[in-house]
Structure 1
């Protein structure tokens, strides 16, 4: 989750890993995705699930590929719980855009095994509850954006 941002396409470290041109500790590979251990893990077993075809974020990722990324992450989370690695819980985290802390500009889903006292954090500020009218206004904006 740390390190300098990489550009899209040429020079993309995840594209290089998917092409077998860069080293990685791969735990899963199929025609659409590759999953490997994060070089800078939050905890032992921290995995990244990456589409083989380059896309920067959710907006330019094919929906079928996105479903495959999440399906593989689900399988890997279950495998972590069955493994000998300490896994009392699992975080699935996808950072989409710089404002959301995306540092490698190739879509990737983190699968992070968690346990009490592991030193990792994931904190979101919790604001005051919004009134129903404001929530409904925001819901309407999202519903409108979902329309074809």
Structure 2
């Protein structure tokens, strides 16, 4: 998939609308269109990387920024103290459907273990 075909690259460029909740120079966070919890925000790098493994191999500092922004989302959403989950689905077998790395920040309800 080229970046011109990537839904999340189109959100980053403003071509596709999204409900942005936070953004920085290198990271964007927006509400999931199919929320699985009262708080369900996706945190993505502006730069295209297919999945978290690719991002970790290419730019560990950017991966750190994505995770730091995920925590800021949890604070802003009021779920940092009660608990939240950060999930990266990597590959189709794990449920990844958009092949631009994204962290799901989930909170606001009990999150059972194991997930799934």
Per the normalisation by structure 1, the TM-score is: 0.68
User: Which of these residues, 102, 111, 118, is aligned with residue 105 of structure 2?
Assistant: 111
Structure 1: any 5+ residue segments left out of the alignment? 1-6, 126-148
Show CA shifts across 1:105-130 (max 9, x none).
000000011324xxx766359xxxxx
- 1:18 Cα offset (Å): 0.5
Superposition CA RMSD, Å: 2.3
1:53 equivalent in alignment to 2:44: no
Structure 2: any 5+ residue segments left out of the alignment? none
Partners of 1:8 and 1:97 in 2: CA distance: 17
Structure 1 residues 9, 122: CA separation in 2 closer, same or farther (over 3 Å shift)? Answer: farther
Task: Between the two structures, name the one with larger relative contact order (CA 8 Å, sep ≥ 6).
Answer: 2
Per the normalisation by structure 2, the TM-score is: 0.84
Number of positions where the alignment pairs a residue of Structure 1 with one of Structure 2: 113
Segments of 4+ moved more than 2 angstroms: 120-125
